[in-house]
Structure 1
Amino acid sequence: MLSKTIVVQNQVGLHARPATFFIQKSNEFKSSIWVEKDDRRVNAKSLLGVLSLGITKGMEITIITDGTDEKEAIEALEKLIESNFSD
């Protein structure tokens, strides 16, 4: 199991279109992936789950991966967030 804390810097946060890109990227991996904000943890492969966190610009989130490709998954999601979802 790996985890990485990242600050979301894109203008609209992890809402609507960026959330869709995030979920599509998460679904490319076999590992279980979660997003955690404050005390809430949701499945990163669930649009409603991710949107329910209400992640906006400047918020800190933690990505947690667990599985055979956990390292690749966490690196790809970190890269996607740091690129402001212009993957």
Structure 2
Amino acid sequence: MVTRNMTIGIQTGLEARPVAVLVQVASQFDSSIYIESGNKRVNAKSIMGMMTLGLVSGEAVMVSADGQDEEAAIDSIEKFLSTAEQ
């Protein structure tokens, strides 16, 4: 299992469109991927789960991945979340 702290760099935060793209990115990997914010932990492959987090730009989250491609999954999620324009 790999865990990494990240900061949301998407200017609009994770509203509907960026969440849909994030779920697509996460779904490319076999690993289980979870995003934690505060006391909530959701599956990054679930649109509804991700929408419940209501993440805004600049917010810190913890991302964890577990599986054969966990390193690649974490790197891709970090690249997506840190990009200012979506």
TM range (shorter): over 0.9
Q: CA deviation at 1:84?
A: 2.9
Partner of residue 76, structure 1: 76
**3-state SS, counterpart of residue 64 of structure 2:** strand
Q: 1:43-82 alignment to 2 at 5 Å? A: 43-82=43-82
Q: 1:5 to 1:15 in 2, by over 3 A?
A: same
Partner of residue 40, structure 1: 40
Instruction: Indicate if the aligned counterparts of 1:31 and 1:70 stay in contact, CA closer than 8 A.
Output: yes
Percent identity for Structure 1 against Structure 2? 36
Q: CA deviation at 1:9?
A: 2.0
Q: Gaps (5+ residues) in structure 2?
A: none
Q: Gaps (5+ residues) in structure 1?
A: none
Q: CA deviation at 1:57?
A: 1.2
C-alpha RMSD of the superposition:
1.1
TM-score (norm 2): 0.93
Q: What code does the residue aligned with 2:61 have?
A: I
Q: How many residues of Structure 1 are paired with residues of Structure 2 in the alignment?
A: 86
TM-score (norm 1): 0.92
Name whichever of 77-86 and 37-46 sits farther off.
Answer: 77-86
Supply the distance in 1 between the matched residues of 2:27 and 2:61 (Cα, whole angstroms): 19
